[in-house]
Homo-oligomer: A and B are copies of this chain.
Amino acid sequence: MAQHATVLDSVFHALSDPTRRAVLSRLGAGPASISDLAAPFDMALPSFMKHIRHLEQTGWISTRKAGRVRTCTLETGQFDLVEGWLDEQRRVWEGRTDRLEQFVTGRTSNPHKNTAHINRKADS
């Protein structure tokens, strides 16, 4: 977990901006060009481009230039990364609930995390 910490930093930070989240939502419906994506936003193109570049660098989208048009495509893999982290946290928390039960019936040792085995994959 400590290793992908920096990856998670950028992945989560990318999501902390409404413009970028909106772009991801829109790209969920299919690829689109830069100016197409930028149209709904009241923002200068260079500013918008920074968001696009940010999303690309953090792996949320991929882009390809054809002629003078750059087309952006959603990369769905990052969703799994986020969900993986969520699952991991839930696992710890649910483990705590178990230990709490144990505590009620009898004293346990100092709770040190035991997240050694991580199983991500539990979607609806």
- Total copies of the chain: 2
> How many residues belonging to A are interface residues under a CB distance threshold of 8 Å?
56
Q: List CB contacts (< 8 Å) of A16-40 with chain B.
A: 16-19, 21-22, 24-26, 28-32, 36, 40
Asked whether any CB of chain B lies closer than 8 Å to the CB of A123, the reply is: yes
Contact A89 B28 (CB under 8 A): yes
A5 CB to nearest chain B CB (Å): 4
Q: Are A16 and B19 in contact (CB under 8 A)?
A: no
Q: Is A115 an interface residue (CB 8 A)?
A: yes
Return the chain B residue nearest A117 by Cβ: B29
Partner among B12, B42, B90, B93 whose Cβ is within 8 Å of the Cβ of A16:
B12
Contact between A86 and B79 (Cβ–Cβ < 8 Å)? Answer: yes
Please indicate which of the listed interface residues A5, A32, A114, A124 has the most CB atoms of chain B within 10 Å of its own CB.
A124
By Cβ-Cβ distance, the 5 closest A-B pairs, closest first, are A30-B112, A28-B92, A22-B122, A13-B16, A12-B16
- Other A-B pairs, 16, CB within 8 Å; known A28-B89, A29-B112, A40-B120: A5-B18, A12-B12, A13-B16, A21-B122, A22-B122, A25-B88, A28-B113, A28-B118, A29-B92, A29-B95, A29-B111, A29-B113, A29-B118, A30-B100, A79-B89, A83-B83
